[in-house]
Structure 1
Amino acid sequence: MSAGTVAVVVIDDDVPFWDLYELGVVCTVFGIPHHDLADPWYDLRLCSARGTGAQAPAGSGGFALRTPHGLEGLAGADTVIVPSVPEACVDGDRELPPDLLTALRRAADDGARMVSLCAGAFALAAAGILDGRRATAHWMHCEQLARRHPGVDIDDSVLYVDDGDVLTSAGVTAGLDLCLHLVRRDLGAHVANQLARRLVVPAHRPGGQAQFVDLSVPATDDEGLAPVLEWAVAHLDRPLTVDDLARRAGTSPRTFFRRLQAATGATPLQWLLTQRLARAQSLLESTPLSVERIGELSGLGTGANLRRHFQLHFGVTPTDYRRAFPGGGGALERPA
């Protein structure tokens, strides 16, 4: 087993606070030697897209970095990681540097393992490395990534995607999951598990990023619907039907169906299920109530039905979901 060289691409040497997270994850996992676990450890190279020793202008915000390598540092690396791209590059207001894309393509052609964390997928996609590949990014960026790069098979439900020599992840903690996965691939499960213990994180998290997607009530321009939807959210513990909601809206069930679908993109039953799942998530996050009681309060009925829906929609059990949120106060779920 070999650790090898990891080249990390720093696109702007003025790194905003929010982009520093992903860069910090990479440096923490690969840049701090653990010779008692594996010797040699990884050789980490910080590579600036602005050139060797580049530094951001003073006062430009975030952190100004000096890097020992320019893009030539990607040459010969075993693994190339793009931890983030500037927000303007995600939005399409700014193009990524052509020499960066060339360097990424060259590294991939030379056999480097190509990795992105969160919005770093936009750089790999722009370089053509993700074409025809399954990939992911933070769920808030996936729609934009798919729109700008239709040749990429975007999966917004997973924490990370291992497509062999190309790997992509969702947001900050999912980036840590992927980095530990790389260590597991390179140095074995024992080393990865021991490193996870030192970082005080799970060696492997169940489920995907679908469990973290915001399920709050979408805004609607239909003023007549808003009070009905707010009322429904306040009474999710009741058995609600389309007829009930239509009657409260003063319309026929068919008209209500059409108006709700136009306003939210969902049928009434789909909308109700989404709100019931959101209520169950909130109760699991913030209370120690049993799964059976949460099933009742959210309108999903029994604990068994709640478990079934969580596995289907989020890929985790309610208990596993609750463990990710300390405010849940400890699982009181009876064994399934």
Structure 2
Amino acid sequence: MHRIGYVLADGFQVMSLASQAVFEYANVVAGDQFYAIENFSVAGGLVRSSLGMLVETSPLSIPGLAETWIFTGVNTPLTNPSSPELLAFARKAGAQARRMAGICTGGFVLAEAGLLADRRATTHWAYSKELQRRHPDIKVEDDRIYIIDGPLWTSAGMTAGLDLALGMLEKDLGVDVARSVAHKLVMHQRRSGGQSQHSELLMLAPKSDRIQSALDYARRNLANSLSVEQLAESVHLSPRQFTRVFTAETGQSPAKAIESLRLEAARLMIEQGRHSLDTIARESGFRDRRHLREVFLRGFGVTPLALRRDARRDKA
């Protein structure tokens, strides 16, 4: 049985505990009690979340109580530093545990304990610059869902904790079990660690259902040319009216938005590593792999092959 200890402090984010469902359903899919989960805090007893919910915890005493330790985040890491007792425990656990993880701003605990020195790490995008400023010896990558560097795992904010937990599950029990658990949790897709924290559809954030429908149509048909005329026809507007409304609601021209959606789709396929670059270019609507490379360099500052190498390193 693999024991997982969640470490909570006053003001912890309830969303951090959502990742426990991944391990719960892993036991269901595996048909065995592979994981045992327990909540801990420095003193034990009831710990209050940022929402006010109380959770019963066991006291942190022996690092060997768990093979994997997961430190939960708080909403105010900059004004709510970790206690000396918590940091002392993290250092001891880091020397003994199989894995250590920080969900969202839980990465600050690992950083303050000195465990992330000279390692790659990520955290919620809103706090990544401060993490880098406070700990210049960490290589902070602020546009990653989660990062694995040896036994240290860190994730972006909120729902990224689910992706981190699925990554652990895949390493422990294999990709088929991880995929089955994601399906049971009704997760639309499993995000790899190297994937961006940001979604182009969310960033466009159109105000009307009509423009949202046009974006949904575009995402389903990226392999096609997707002219303004096609998009306008899909939502029963004239091309001129569609362009005006689209730009007003999203702040981008239709052409620029479609290019961003193509890049996001190509990036996801590259990270998954299942298709050739020629296939990816064709299915995401680029002329060929050379065109894909040009737009990728302009949009991300890296080549598709470099991204694929990074994604494989994260999964190794």
The TM tier, using the shorter chain, reads 0.5 to 0.7
Structure 2 unaligned segments of length 5 or more: list them. 219-225, 232-238, 244-251, 270-282, 287-316
Task: Indicate if the aligned counterparts of 1:136 and 1:169 stay in contact, CA closer than 8 A.
Answer: yes
What are the residue-to-residue correspondences of 1:175-186 with 2, within 5 Å?
175-186=161-172
- Would you say the 8 A contact 2:166–2:182 is kept in 1? yes
Q: Does 1:21 align with 2:7?
A: no
Matched AA of 1:153: K
Matched, 1:37 2:35: no
How large is the Cα RMSD of the aligned pairs? 3.6
Tell me the amino acid that sits aligned with residue 34 of structure 2. W
SS in 2 for 1:66: strand
Of 55, 59, 64, which residue of structure 2 is paired with 1:70?
A: 59
1:299 matched to 2:253? yes
Equivalent residues of 2:69, 2:97 under 8 A apart: no
Q: Distance in 2 between matches of 1:115 and 1:208?
A: 19
How far off its partner does 1:200 sit?
A: 0.9
Cα distance in 2 between the residues matched to 1:65 and 1:42? 20
Match of residue 214 from structure 2: 288
- Conserved in 2, the CA contact under 8 Å of 1:26 and 1:83? no
Q: What does 1:216-231 correspond to in 2, within 5 Å?
A: none
- Select 1:123's aligned residue among 89, 103, 109: 109
2:262/2:285 contact within 8 Å kept:
no
Q: Does 1:53 align with 2:45?
A: yes
The question of 1:83 aligning with 2:72 is answered yes
Q: Secondary structure at the match of 2:38?
A: strand
Distance in 2 (CA, whole Å) between partners of 1:74 and 1:159 is: 27
Asked whether the equivalents of residues 121 and 147 of structure 2 are also in contact (C-alpha less than 8 Å), the reply is yes
1:115–1:166 contact (8 Å) kept in structure 2: yes
Q: Name the TM-score, length of structure 2 as normaliser.
A: 0.65
In 2, distance between residues paired with 1:180 and 1:196?
Answer: 8
CA–CA distance in 2 between the matches of 1:64 and 1:148? 31
Q: Contact 2:14–2:51 at 8 Å: present in 1 too?
A: no
Contact 1:7–1:74 (CA under 8 A) maintained in structure 2? no
- Which structure has the larger Rg over C-alpha atoms? 1
Structure 2 residue 131 is matched with structure 1 residue 145: yes
Residue 196 (structure 2) aligned to one of 186, 208, 222: 208
- Give per-residue Cα distances to partners, 1:154-194, cap 9 Å, x unaligned: 11111111113111111222110110110010111111111
Q: Name the residue aligned to 1:266.
A: none
**3-state SS of 2:159 partner:** helix
Give deviations 1:101-131, integer Å, cap 9, x for gaps. Answer: 1111111111430111111111111111111
Contact conserved, 1:84 with 1:117, CA < 8 A, in 2?
A: yes
Aligned-partner residue type, residue 14 of structure 2 = L
2-side partners of 1:27 and 1:80: how far apart? 12
1:182-197 matches, cutoff 5 A? 182-197=168-183
Structure 2 counterpart of 1:10, from 8, 13, 19:
8
Deviations 1:213-248 (A, max 9, x none): 986xxxxxxxxxxxxxxxxxxxxxxxxxxxxxxxxx
Q: Percent identity?
A: 30
The more displaced of 177-186 and 163-172 is 163-172
Find the aligned partners of 1:307 and 1:30 in 2 and give their Cα distance: 33
